Amino acid sequence: MEIDLTWPTVADERLRAEVHAVLHAVVAAGGAIGWVDPPVRAQTDAWLDSVLGSPGDGALVVARVDGVVRGTATWKRSSSEVFANMAELRRVTADPAARGLGLGSRLVGAVIEHARAAGLEMLTLGVRGNNHGAIQLYESLGFREWGRLPNVISVGDVRFDDVRMYLPLGHREGVVLHGSAPGGIGSSPARAQPVG
């Protein structure tokens, strides 16, 4: 069995069909990748076009098993200028027929390195709170939880937590890390606490 990771920049008919097959199969098997119902081809084509349509602001990696796409992962840079140093990891998938091959780990590892090479300083992600296997995978690759929004992901009448995670990728030389220290651009003084 041969597993290759590639970074397509254009979507031909074969890539569109194979990516659709993976995304459809993942959602049909209950995968939490942003669609409640298995997406139709027009939805996956539109998503693929949005990912590939803004080079420099995102990228798609696909895992091919014996020449056929069986997994995907993307990173997408924040659209806000002040957050342009960070991106979100999205749509990490492995076709149910290819589970157990380590595709998730390979794909996420590739995204981490690609995002770092693109000059990004931080990767973030959101994962459904009941997806314990994915959370363990992300933690094994260095991601840490920074918070969770309780019961905000809705699938019909069922609600799930949105677990938010982050991975620092490093800063270029000369970047000043001000953090939450007082002062600086956009700061405001702390308000005095009422006495009594």
* pLDDT score, position 125: 98
* pLDDT score, position 39: 97
Full-model pTM: 0.91
* pLDDT score, position 153: 94
Cα-based torsion angle of the residue sequence 110, 15, 39, 123 in order, rounded to the nearest 10 degrees: 20
* Diameter of the chain measured on Cα atoms: 72
Question: Closest Cα to residue 37, out of 26, 48, 46?
Answer: 26
* pLDDT score, position 11: 95
* pLDDT score, position 18: 98
Assigned architecture for domain 3-168: 3-Layer(aba) Sandwich (3.40)
Ranges under pLDDT 50 in the chain: none
